Structure 1
Amino acid sequence: MGTTGGTAESGRRVGRPRADRRPASGLAPRDELLVAAAELFTSLGYAATSTRAVAERAGMRQASMYHYVSGKEELLAELLESTVTPSLAYARELLADDRVPAESRLWELCRADVEVLCGGTHNLGGLYLLPEVRAERFAGFHAVRAELKDAYRQLIAATVAGGALAKSELDLRTDLLFGLIEGVILVHRSDPERPVSAFAEATADAALRIVGVRDRHPAGS
């Protein structure tokens, strides 16, 4: 007699197949979910991505996902913060290093920030453009982003050109410079084959022009 209905050939796993499951990565389950969410949010769109799709892409059941995260919003919040916290940490280092001219430190922060925003496997900077990001749930991201913007303001004020600006003008230049940095997300999206380093250096050069700095290595520095 053959085997009864619920059995299968030796060694075969019984159960619902996982659609588009990636090979085992060795990542912790929460990190697997973040990687899956980054891939799906940037390729399909946040609104079009279901929690089930994220779970299956990470190789787990939807119910299991909730052991690690509360849902899509938590994943999006963490991905957003991951685009800001490295730049903020670097900005703090640069602010503390007054041995280097402020012009050079400002240029370096601009360059590094664009590398973070546009680098990586997925264009996470593009998530800034989501209307959902304006919600209160993402207050943590906005707080970190505001601190980074203030670090830019302090570096601008420390330059020779920035130090001569009135407060209202300093605020305006900071807004323009910060807008330029984040605006590179759109330019990079339209020209993804161009090296991120090229965007980063050109943007840093343009940022100094906004401040009124002609040379990131001032004479006598």
Structure 2
Amino acid sequence: MGTGGGRRVGRPRAAQRPDSGLTPRAELLAAAAELFTTRGYAATTTRAVAERAGMRQASMYHYVSGKEELLAELLESTVTPSLTFARKLLADDAAPAGSRLWELCRTDVELLCGGPHNLGGLYLLPEVRTERFAGFHAVRAELKDAYRQLLAATPAGGVLAKSELDLRTDLLFGLIEGVILVHRSDPERPVSAFAEATADAALRIAGI
């Protein structure tokens, strides 16, 4: 624990640090989220992430393989909660599909914009197009399909040809993800009001 000792390879520390209450891996993710969204992904070094998390660079590799693993997990964290909620909505046949679609839009926007860092902005990184991020793309595609299923279950969506349904889904999903950029330009806007207004606009795109 001292500054000397000659140990060159970092040693995993205890499961939690008393000062933060986070596990080392969670600390690394929090540090990466801050640095990737403020300095930029390419400009952020693994050393900078480790230092922000309060550990040596060598110690970092006990918990993650590097920047790509951190980015992949951060990206998936922006989608997974919405997908979990979408699955519940799809299973709830008692509620009208239009109401469920509105609720998914609202909740998805709140999740995208409610965190301390604008992680959705990382979607635009050219690195995200590579095979390394296939897990993120698979989860995102499943969420988009949930939007499509709910739209198709509405009276307006049920009469659309497949090509038109696909287009409406693309537009609706694009609006939801695009709010990340709008919110970044007006971060003081209350997220709840912003989410409701976006959900209203999304249903107009859907023809509801």
TM-score norm. by structure 2 comes to 0.91
The one-letter code of the counterpart of 1:173 is R
Cα distance in 1, alignment partners of residues 51 and 64 from structure 2: 14
Larger Rg: 1
> How many angstroms does 1:198 deviate by?
1.9
| 2:198 pairs with 1:203 | yes
- Selected match of 1:117 from 103, 112, 116: 112
Spell out, residue by residue over 1:95-129, the C-alpha distance to the aligned partner (whole angstroms, 9 max, x if none).
00011000000000000001111111111111112
State the shift of 1:160 in Å: 0.6
| Percent of aligned pairs with the same amino acid | 88
User: 2 CA distance for matches of 1:170 and 1:14?
Assistant: 62
Structure 2: gaps (5+ residues): 5-16
| Residue 62 of structure 1, CA deviation | 0.2
SS in 2 for 1:120: coil
In structure 2, give the amino acid aligned to 1:163.
G
Cα distance in 2, alignment partners of residues 121 and 23 from structure 1:
22
Aligned-residue Cα RMSD (Å) equals 1.3
- Aligned with residue 75 of structure 1, among 70, 87, 95: 70
State the match for 2:8 in structure 1: none
Most deviating of 22-31 and 86-95: 22-31
Matched position secondary structure for 1:169:
helix
TM-superposed CA distance for 1:199, in Å, is 1.7
Structure 1 unaligned runs (5+)?
1-12, 16-21, 214-221
CA distance in 2 between partners of 1:113 and 1:140 (Å):
19
1:167 is aligned to 2:150: no
- The residue type equivalent to 1:125 in the other structure is G
Distance verdict in 2 for CA 1:40–1:23, change over 3 Å = farther
Of the candidates 14, 30, 53, which is equivalent to residue 25 of structure 2?
30
User: More displaced, 176-185 or 125-134?
Assistant: 125-134
**Using the alignment, how far apart are the partners of 1:55 and 1:32 within structure 2?**
9
- Secondary structure at the residue paired with 1:193? coil
Q: 1:84 aligns with which of 54, 79, 100?
A: 79
1:139-218 aligned within 5 A: 139-213=134-208
